[in-house]
Structure 1
């Protein structure tokens, strides 16, 4: 088993998690850069900001730290299933979420679907182009988590670990 591949996948997943977290923190501070829509039309309620920006940012940082369990020695102390099962769940969820965006955009491009009336203005916004960045990030994050889990499973099996 090549440990470098496992490490690379874990580092990529960590970077993707941090890249997802950072804009949530600056959006929580009111900075609209990179927001995939009209930031001025987002509800300005405290609970919406706390959950939508700060909580999601902190959750992404924790997920990024989790990804490092595939890289560093301290991760070997965790039971194998406690690492592999959440990583596969994240892989499947994030990959489907990211891939489905591109499928939908392709369906828009070929005229198979049209925006719902309530989303026409948002989809026509120039800021909607940021969706390509964020959904590509979801796709990369999901795929890297899958590779980290796959390599972890192969490595622990080759060493005879059970967990």
Structure 2
């Protein structure tokens, strides 16, 4: 399977979760690794968080289009540099988030769970629970999602280089053409 399709599935799953949250569903919102004050605002459906869910849903829709544009014939209409920049940026961002050198992620979660970075005592139990959820769900998801974006970008990079060598593609955007039916 082409990595762009894995990217589409991950992006659509995330987008649908954000849509559900924007429409009022919990949809794992209580497992979102946020500081306590922000988490309370999220669960109370603060208008800023509701708006952010709509924005993230919209970004996910754009992400699905970008991922598909790397492999579908209609994607040749998009400038390749934009597709490559979007794919590499999303992939690297998500991989960095999954490891969490500055917060949640494999590293941050391990530090919280081992006590090397203890949370404030009044928030210790919820912080450990959220770190477990992040370690078991969110960080692996972001890692797979980020790796699929970088694999999509790498595959598109190879396609672009191949077209430059052969003179195919006319310098237009997109990815490999689908085989004729």
- Normalization by structure 2: what TM-score? 0.73
Alpha-carbon deviation of 1:121? 4.7
User: How far off its partner does 1:128 sit?
Assistant: 5.9
Counterpart residue number, 1:152: 156
The worse-fitting range, judged by mean Cα deviation, of 114-123 and 151-160 is 114-123
| Counterpart among 11, 22, 40 of residue 16 in structure 2 | 22
RMSD over aligned CA atoms reads: 2.5
Q: Would the aligned equivalents of 1:90 and 1:142 in 2 still touch at CA under 8 Å?
A: yes
Corresponding residue for 2:78? Answer: 78
- Measure the CA separation in 2 of the matches of 1:129 and 1:111: 13
- CA distance 1:112–1:121, change in 2 (3 Å): closer
Q: Is the counterpart of residue 13 in structure 1 residue 7 in structure 2? A: yes
Moved over 6 A (4+): none
After superposing the two structures, state which structure 1 stretch, 36-45 or 87-96, moved more. 36-45
Change (3 A) 1:19 1:130: farther
Cα distance, 1:122 vs structure 2: 3.1
Tell me which structure has the larger Cα radius of gyration. Answer: 2
Separation of aligned partners in 2, 1:106 and 1:124: 10
Q: C-alpha distance in 2, partners of 1:88/1:154? A: 13
The offset of 1:130, in angstroms, is 4.0
Higher relative contact order (CA 8 A, sep 6+): 1
1:110–1:93: structure 2 CA closer, same or farther, 3 Å change rule?
same
Counterparts in 2 of 1:117 and 1:71: CA distance versus 1, 3 Å: farther
